[in-house]
Amino acid sequence: MLIKNRTPEIAEILQNEAVRLRKQVYGNEVFLRGLIEISNYCKNGCYYCGINCANKECNRYRLTEEEILNCAIEGYKIGFRTIVLQGGEDNFFTDEVVCDIIRKIKKNCPETAITLSLGERTKESYQKLYEAGADRYLLRHETADKAHYERLHPEKMSFENRMNCLKNLKEIGFATGCGFMVGSPYQTEENLAKDLKFIEEFQPQMCGIGPFIPQKNTVFANEEKGTAELTTYLLSIIRIIKPNILLPATTALNTIEEDGRVMGILAGANVIMPNLSPKTAREKYNLYDGKAISGEESAEEVKKLEKTMEKIGYRVVYNRGDMREYRKEDENGSI
């Protein structure tokens, strides 16, 4: 099997093919998303996550509507044309509150796409957010294996509901993103094969993957972290499975490797999500230990990021960065 029997030679072949496909669809362009972490209050108890409700050590915060809008405007001025609102499942953010924020961002930041990453909600709720103007929704499936899902989440949460949410998001018309952690506790190669199969069948527009990193106040505090080697390997495979997918080089990858961004892009990723949250929020949005929050991880340093990308032959672009079409007939028999 492709994962179990991987070798550096196979990794290189897959990487070359992934890069060839990404260049065919997106050239050397790297899309940016400005990430705003709106709240670390969460009603869920995901065992891996540092902001889960059982963590009494977590210093909770919630940005005000005004703060969120100001971050978005700041990002807009820097040049971002996609704003991502991510947070724990915080009951404060009702449909009404989120819809209001969406409309205000749309009004103040013309031509900007809004991506939401606010967890599981009802279909009616997703519909309202979509009608208010949200364009995309990220909801990692976390694992495509039900038994594995149940080992990562408390009983209250259900694999079926997560999958159902993803289906609903797609039906409504959101550009939808799924994804999973690499090297999460109890994960087997078979689980990963299922994740890849799921991506192939579900055909998401986006897919977020990054290594699992333990957080000290969670039940998985002493588990092993995932590796950059397997993460980049899987990034290449995902690019090959769906050549036009929007695929970020994630903060988690950049946290375990100093040049994680570069490694991700060179493996076939085409999106980077710098952090636009206020400094204090960045520190408190502790999904895992040691989260990279400064340097090129922060939106203020996009100039540096531009240079880093240039050095490896890529170019940061300031547009919405929507998914493009992939046409097989464009292949000119190059393999």
Strand-strand pairing, 82-87 and 315-317: unpaired
CA-to-CA distance for 67 and 192, rounded, in angstroms?
39
Site string for ligand SAH, 154-193 (x = CB under 6 A): ---------------------------x------------
> Among 136-144, 296-304, 315-323, 324-332, which window interacts with ligand SAH (CB under 6 A)?
136-144
Question: Is residue 84 a contact partner of residue 113, using CB atoms and an 8 Å limit?
Answer: no
327 CB-contact burial (10 Å; exposed 0-12 / middle 13-18 / buried 19+): exposed
Tokens (6 digits) for 137: 């929704």
Cβ-contact 80, 272 below 8 angstroms: no
Under the criterion CB under 6 A, does residue 142 sit at the interface with ligand SAH? yes
Query: Residue for token digits 């969120």?
Result: 68
**35 lies in the site for ligand SAH, by CB under 6 A:** no
Binding of ligand SAH by 86 (CB under 6 A): yes
Tokens of 74: 């700041």
Which range, of 127-135, 150-158, 211-219, 264-272, touches ligand SAH by CB under 6 A? 211-219
In the chain, count H helices and then E strands: 12, 9
Residues 45-64 that bind ligand SAH (CB under 6 A): 48-49
Check residue 89 for interaction with ligand SAH (CB under 6 A). yes
Residues 284-313 that bind ligand SAH (CB under 6 A): 287-288
- 76 lies in the binding site for ligand SAH (CB under 6 A): no
> Is residue 212 within the footprint of ligand SAH (CB under 6 A)?
yes
Is 204 near ligand SAH (CB under 6 A)?
no
Binding status of residue 137 toward ligand SAH by CB under 6 A: no
Give the one residue of 114, 139, 144, 175 binding ligand SAH; rule: CB under 6 A.
139
61-95 in b/e burial notation, b at 16+ Cβ within 10 A?
bbbeeebbbbbbebbbebebbbbbbbbbbbeebeb
| 3-state DSSP assignment of residue 300 | helix
Whether the CB-CB separation of 320 and 29 falls below 8 Å is answered with no
Asked if residue 198 binds ligand SAH (CB under 6 A), the reply is no
Residue 117 makes CB contacts below 8 A (sequence gap 6+) with: 84, 85, 86, 87, 137, 138, 139
| Selected range binding ligand SAH among 7-15, 81-89, 145-153, 276-284, rule: CB under 6 A | 81-89
Stretch near ligand SAH under the rule CB under 6 A, chosen from 61-69, 83-91, 233-241, 293-301: 83-91
- Count of residues engaged in binding ligand SAH, rule: CB under 6 A: 18
Nearest-approach distance from CB 139 to ligand SAH, in angstroms: 5
Tell me whether residue 290 or residue 313 sits nearer to ligand SAH (CB atom).
290
109 to 128: interface string for ligand SAH, x by CB under 6 A: --------x-x---------
- Tally of CA atoms within 13 A in the half-sphere of 305 that contains its CB: 28
- Nearest to ligand SAH of 39, 309 (CB atom): 39
Annotate 203-214 with b (16+ C-beta within 10 A) or e (fewer).
ebbbbbbbbbbb
The residue with tokens 């208010």 is: 132
CB nearer ligand SAH, residue 234 or residue 316: 234
Residues that bind ligand SAH (CB under 6 A): 48-49, 86, 88-89, 117, 119, 139-140, 142, 181, 210, 212-213, 215, 252, 287-288
